[in-house]
Amino acid sequence: MEVKPTKTIDERGEVCPVPDVDTKRALKKMKKGEILEVLIDYPLSKERIPATVKKEGHEVLAVEEIGPSEWRILIKV
């Protein structure tokens, strides 16, 4: 997906649930309409982050594979 993220956080290699917590904290600091890119390689969080940010009212633009067991999640605040 061709969008320019406002901010990128690299969560590859982090232990559970650091990717979830960092995502939540990053979103809290961002303004409406901005886009957060989360780079991730942990399968559980890849499935859990989209579900939990939707619940908080954000929009998940895409979950894309960017490498072997690596994904990027694009979230619109």
By CB under 8 A, residue 66 contacts another protein: no
47 exposure class (CB count in 10 Å sphere: 0-12, 13-18, 19+): exposed
Stretch that binds another protein, among 1-9, 26-34, 64-72 (CB under 8 A): 64-72
In the 8-state DSSP scheme, what is residue 1? -
- Kindly state the number of chain residues that form the binding site for another protein, as judged by CB under 8 A: 26
User: Is 16 assigned a catalytic role?
Assistant: yes
| Residue window 5-44: x/- pattern of binding to another protein, with contact defined by CB under 8 A | -----x-xxxxxxx-xx-------------------xxxx
